[in-house]
Structure 1
Amino acid sequence: MKKPSQSNWFSGLLALLFALLLFFNANASGSISNISGSNQVYDEMLYNIPVQVEYDQDKYFVSGYEETVNVHLSSANRIQLNLESNEDTRNFQVVADLTKTPLGTSEIQLRVKGLSTAVTAEIEPKTITVTVEKKVTKTFNVEAQIPESIEAEGYKIEKVAVSPKSVEITTGEETAKVIDRVVAPLSNVKQSVDAIKQTVNVQALDSKGQVLSIENPAPQVKVTVDLSLPSKEVGLTISPTGSPPSNVEHYTFNLSEQKVEIRGTKSVLDAINTLELPVDISNIKSSTKQTIKIPTNGEYIVTPEEVEVTINPVFTGTNTSFSETRGQSSVTAYSSQVLPTPVPSSEKINSSSSVSSTSSSTSTESTVENDIENGSSSTPEN
């Protein structure tokens, strides 16, 4: 039979072994967790990263290559990856080393320079095609290149001025040999103007009109083109605004000009046959003159810019009209939007009689005029 002291000692030893087993098991689990966590990799795709071309810029001219590429970054260090992904904190560059590249066209391997060792990069595409030439500078005259839409819209080109008239073009030796002309391409005109004034970068073209590579930035010139806009005459129509007094049946309008000239592009002119002239008739109870500016929308120019309008009210139930027509070239009538007051039947009869009397009087006067033309000396009896 075992002594009690031996039993206690054995139990303590067994407890210690279990404690050690639990301790090592817990540490092992934590280590495995840390290892699995450290294996996580983060990715970032960067687009349009510029390619830095390394060569002797004093002696050579390089052209024909893609100026930007895409770069795929990956790292287990999220903070470092964010630093390289951000344009403001980025340390790496994509480089094409041409220091040992011969003249002519070659395919060059791209590499990443200055990237943190905690981050890996993959370039897409991995290579670029470049053309290396000896650098030359020549002087060329510049001509303005006017968009075809200018003449298509009916503009007539009166005068073209380019300043300076000639520029120095820096390019490759072989490219310079095929330059046919140097142009200043103008952009399209979006609204009616009588002159184009633009400052533009010049372009070098070959005999087929294809754009050639020259030093960037290209020289700039100022171009001024004087134009004659197509024009046409259009009529004016009155467009009353506001509310007339209740006793006014309608108005007559006397215009100082019946037609005006508009100038603009052909497509704009083709769409316009008349121009509306807004006339405010609010509270007008007697003959009133207004000087009204002819509205435009910026797509055309109108001459004259304003006209004089005499507004004559015609009152309900009468033939009374306050009219001042002296010095006016024409008269335009317009009924107001307010419906006239119904006329009593008795007044309608009187009105009809008045019309008949007027017709009879007109007929008599016509007869007298015919008798005079026929040599008759007869006059109506008193």
Structure 2
Amino acid sequence: MKKPSQSNWFSSLLALLFALLLFFNANASGSMSNVSGTNQIYDEMLYNIPVQVEYDQDKYFVSGYEETVNVHLSSANRIQLNLESNEDTRNFQVVADLTKTPLGTSEIQLRVKGLSTAVKAEIEPKTITVTVEKKVTKSFSVEAQIPETIEAEGYKVGKVAVSPKTVEITTGEETAKAINRVVAPLSNVKQSVDTIKQTVNVQALDSKGQVLSIENPAPQVKVVVDLSLPSKEVGLTISATGSPPSSVEHYTFTLSEQKVEIRGTKSVLDAINTIELPVDVSNIKSSMKKTIKIPTNADYIVSPEEVEVTINPVFVGTNTSFSETSGGQSSTTASSSQMIPNPLPSSESPASSSSTSSTSSSTSSESTVANDIENGSSSEPVN
């Protein structure tokens, strides 16, 4: 039989072994967790990062290079990565050092400047191609460059004014020798305009019309071009609107102008042959005149802008209408002081006069049609 002291000693030793095992196991798990945490890498892809070109700007002119690149950032420090990714808190720059680059075209290695040591960067592409020239400034006359669409649409170009007429162009020495002309390129204009007024940056062109590199921003000039719009004559048609009185069968209309002139681009003019003129005939029971504005839109200009319309009601059961003489043009006139009453029913009309009435009515109708044709008036039934 074991003594009590020996049993207690054995139990204490066993408990100590278990405690040590648990301690080392816990530390090992914590260490593995820490290792796993430190191996987490975060990354961001940044696009269109500007390239800072370092050179003597008073002596040299640099051209021909890509002005932006993409940068891939990676870091185990998420906070630091976010700072460099954000444009407002960014510290790094992509730099091309040309201080020791000779004249001519060279390939330059790009590098990142000012980036936190906790963040790594990869530039895409890693190099740029640049042309270095001696810097010169020369004066050139400027000419307006009219878009080809202007003449294609039938415009006739009139007076062209450019202000100032000459500008100073700063560029490379060899590029300056290649300048054939300096132009002020105008952008396309809205339809139906008769004057172009634009302020534009000039461009330097070589003998083949290729755009050459000059100092940015380029000089600006103001250009004013007078245009003559294509034009043609179109007819007017009447479109009666509104609700006429029940006693009126339809109306005849006399226009002060049968045709109007419209001006606009060729494509717009080709699509228009007549202009519909809406005339409200609501509650018109006697001959009257209205001044109607001719419908138009931003695509074309119309002249005159309005016409005078004489409206003559033709009453139910009769071909007679009220009308007036207007602007030297006459229309059929029956009475201008009172409304024409509706004719009596045929049962109440004397039988002996039926033949005469029929002949008279036919003659009156033919006379009215003849007068309408002679005076250019149109008849528009209104339901």
TM-score by length of 1: 0.87
Partner of 2:18: 18
Aligned-pair CA distance for 1:74: 0.9
- 5 Å-filtered alignment, 1:133-144, equals 133-144=133-144
1:27-74, CA deviations, whole angstroms, 9 ceiling, x for partnerless residues? Answer: 211220121122111111111111000000000000000011111111
Distance change (3 Å), C-alpha of 1:74 and 1:361: closer
Partner of 1:327: 327
Partner of 2:359: 356
- The residue identity in structure 2 corresponding to 1:31 is S
Question: What secondary structure is seen at the aligned counterpart in 1 of 2:216?
Answer: coil
Distance 2:18 2:191 in 1: 92
1:52-99, CA deviations, whole angstroms, 9 ceiling, x for partnerless residues? Answer: 000000000000000111111111111111111111111111100000
Is the counterpart of residue 278 in structure 1 residue 278 in structure 2? yes
Distance change (3 Å), C-alpha of 1:38 and 1:191: same
Is the counterpart of residue 40 in structure 1 residue 40 in structure 2? yes
Kindly indicate whether the alpha-carbon contact (under 8 Å) linking 1:52 and 1:95 is maintained by their aligned counterparts in 2.
yes
Distance 2:265 2:289 in 1: 34
Kindly indicate whether the alpha-carbon contact (under 8 Å) linking 2:197 and 2:223 is maintained by their aligned counterparts in 1.
yes
Distance 1:53 1:257 in 2: 69
Aligned-pair CA distance for 1:327: 2.3
Aligned-pair CA distance for 1:16: 2.2
Partner of 1:129: 129
Question: What secondary structure is seen at the aligned counterpart in 1 of 2:282?
Answer: coil
Distance 1:331 1:232 in 2: 28
Distance 1:249 1:169 in 2: 76
Partner of 2:318: 318
Partner of 2:2: 2
Deviation larger for 39-48 or 244-253: 244-253
Kindly indicate whether the alpha-carbon contact (under 8 Å) linking 1:258 and 1:330 is maintained by their aligned counterparts in 2.
no
- 5 Å-filtered alignment, 1:54-203, equals 54-203=54-203
Kindly indicate whether the alpha-carbon contact (under 8 Å) linking 2:323 and 2:331 is maintained by their aligned counterparts in 1.
no
Distance 2:310 2:182 in 1: 59
Kindly indicate whether the alpha-carbon contact (under 8 Å) linking 2:52 and 2:96 is maintained by their aligned counterparts in 1.
yes
Aligned-pair CA distance for 1:359: 5.5
Kindly indicate whether the alpha-carbon contact (under 8 Å) linking 1:254 and 1:325 is maintained by their aligned counterparts in 2.
no
Question: What secondary structure is seen at the aligned counterpart in 1 of 2:326?
Answer: coil
- 5 Å-filtered alignment, 1:356-375, equals 356-357=359-360
Unaligned 5+ runs, structure 1: 333-340, 364-382
Question: What secondary structure is seen at the aligned counterpart in 1 of 2:11?
Answer: helix
- The residue identity in structure 1 corresponding to 2:359 is S
1:143-185, CA deviations, whole angstroms, 9 ceiling, x for partnerless residues? Answer: 0000111111111111000000000000000000010000000
Distance change (3 Å), C-alpha of 1:358 and 1:54: same
Distance 2:113 2:356 in 1: 106
Partner of 1:292: 292
Unaligned 5+ runs, structure 2: 333-341, 367-383
Aligned-pair CA distance for 1:261: 0.5
Identity of aligned residues (%): 88
Aligned-pair CA distance for 1:318: 2.4
Distance 2:289 2:325 in 1: 11
Kindly indicate whether the alpha-carbon contact (under 8 Å) linking 1:255 and 1:330 is maintained by their aligned counterparts in 2.
no
Distance change (3 Å), C-alpha of 1:330 and 1:87: farther
Distance 2:292 2:356 in 1: 41
Distance 1:151 1:311 in 2: 43
Distance 1:360 1:242 in 2: 32
Number of aligned residues: 354
Distance 2:346 2:84 in 1: 95
Deviation larger for 271-280 or 9-18: 9-18
Question: What secondary structure is seen at the aligned counterpart in 2 of 1:188?
Answer: coil
Partner of 1:212: 212
1:265-313, CA deviations, whole angstroms, 9 ceiling, x for partnerless residues? Answer: 1111111001111211222222222211111111111111111112222
- The residue identity in structure 2 corresponding to 1:145 is Q
Kindly indicate whether the alpha-carbon contact (under 8 Å) linking 1:258 and 1:329 is maintained by their aligned counterparts in 2.
no
Distance 2:354 2:275 in 1: 37
Distance change (3 Å), C-alpha of 1:362 and 1:286: closer
Distance 2:321 2:301 in 1: 36
Distance 1:117 1:362 in 2: 102
1:227-254, CA deviations, whole angstroms, 9 ceiling, x for partnerless residues? Answer: 1111101111112222222222111112
Kindly indicate whether the alpha-carbon contact (under 8 Å) linking 1:133 and 1:173 is maintained by their aligned counterparts in 2.
yes
Distance 1:351 1:119 in 2: 111
1:309-345, CA deviations, whole angstroms, 9 ceiling, x for partnerless residues? Answer: 122221222233221233264879xxxxxxxx9x988
Distance 2:195 2:354 in 1: 61
Distance 1:83 1:329 in 2: 83
Partner of 2:338: none
